[in-house]
Amino acid sequence: MNSKLPCLAVLCVSLAGCVQPTGPVHSSSAATSERAPRSSAVREEADHRLFHLSTSVEAGRSMVTGSFNVVQLSVTNHEREPVTLGFGSGCQLLYVVYDLHGNQVSSSFGCTAFPTQLTIGARETVRQTTTWEPERYDYGQHAYVPLPAGLYRMHAYISEHGYESPPFMVRLVEH
């Protein structure tokens, strides 16, 4: 396990009493639509330094709706020196998924409530493998139901810092 990314979402959720739900920062033009933060690859951090970071998401171009699908998230430091980012929780590198109408369809994450740091070496790429189960909660049925088959847009981002990746298009298929 990569010591720079100490917490996987599944592990974090299992730590009863020590979780805090975390989702993307809201910055949307539509009041009901949640969106990950939009930012340029160069961003000013709390210590007033400019960091040139980028994120990406990789997965199969086709995923099965309602099943666990493997997703690889990465963040690259384009600087000539290491960059350390601070977080108020165990959430560091996350993803968000939208349908073609721009509505967020991915769930929030459960993360430890303990502050963490991520140090990315000069010109280093840090990768994290996680899963996505394409489903939504249906309040009428009081149950989770698979998302409909179709095209979806997936982005990686750094929790609390932004740096949203370019879209990765995924086609959900029925199983």
pLDDT number for residue 49 = 63
pTM of the predicted model over 0.75: no
**Could you tell me the sign of the dihedral formed by the alpha carbons of 61, 37, 95, 138, in that order?**
negative
Q: What is the mean pLDDT of the chain?
A: 78
Alpha carbon of 118 to those of 40, 60, 81, 83, 123: distances in Å? 20, 27, 14, 8, 14
pLDDT range class, residue 117, cuts 50, 70, 90: very high
pLDDT range class, residue 50, cuts 50, 70, 90: low
Name the one residue in this structure whose structure tokens are 């007033």: 48
pLDDT range class, residue 29, cuts 50, 70, 90: very low
Average pLDDT, integer, range 170-175: 92
**Sequence-ordered list of residues with C-beta below 8 angstroms from that of 29, at least 6 positions apart, any chain:** none
What CATH code is carried by the domain that includes residue 81? Answer: 2.60.40.10
Domain of 157, in residue numbers: 9-173
126: in domain = yes
3: in domain = no
pLDDT higher than threshold 50 for residue 152: yes
Domain count, the chain: 1
20: in domain = yes
Average pLDDT, integer, range 133-149: 94
